[in-house]
Structure 1
Amino acid sequence: MGLTYSDAITLFSKAIVNEGKIPFKLQSDPFYSTENQESLRKSINQLEDGTGKQHDLLDNDK
């Protein structure tokens, strides 16, 4: 885009002032969602109590 770091920060700062908010949507990493954490806990518990199932890794690069 050809902006210097200083110009980019200036534009970002002005956008915050003009819009009254950060000019883009912030999203958290879906790995840390409640649903995923519950699924991971369930899987860990199954492995620890011996009821988990082992699967081959899928190779999606093919």
Structure 2
Amino acid sequence: MAQTLVNIRMDAELKRNMEAVCRDLGMNMTTAFTIFAKKMSRERRIPFEVSVDPFYSSANIAHLESIVTDVKNGTAKFQEHALIEADA
């Protein structure tokens, strides 16, 4: 089968992290992308769930912008609340 060259641009840290995971799995990035391409071609879909972080939803961004506006205008209402412990 004829081979072709595909260039992919990504953040340097993302590349290092992906190379490390591939190494742990005993493969290189070319093999990982080939697996992805074959699965996507066979299933005719992205082979994993793709979703958006709800933090960046338009509704949440609008809410955060309104809070910033209130703080800048001096109309923000701050309330004391109990400390919320997060599991480590």
**Number of paired residues?**
62
Q: Distance in 1 between matches of 2:35 and 2:50?
A: 18
1:30: which partner in 2? 54
1:52: which partner in 2? 76
Q: Does structure 1 residue 4 correspond to structure 2 residue 27?
A: yes
Letter in 2 for 1:2: L
Structure 1 alignment gaps of length 5 or more: none
Letter in 2 for 1:12: F
TM-score (ref. length: structure 2): 0.54
Q: Distance in 2 between matches of 1:18 and 1:26?
A: 18
Q: Taking CA–CA contacts closer than 8 Å with sequence separation of 6 or more, which of the two structures ends up with the larger relative contact order?
A: 1
TM-score (ref. length: structure 1): 0.70
Q: Distance in 2 between matches of 1:56 and 1:23?
A: 46
Q: Does structure 1 residue 20 correspond to structure 2 residue 64?
A: no
* Per-residue CA distance 1:21-54 (angstroms, 9 max, x = gap): 2111211222210111111011111111111123
Structure 2 alignment gaps of length 5 or more: 1-23
Q: Percent identity, please.
A: 31
Q: Distance in 1 between matches of 2:60 and 2:39?
A: 34
Q: State the Cα RMSD in Å.
A: 2.5
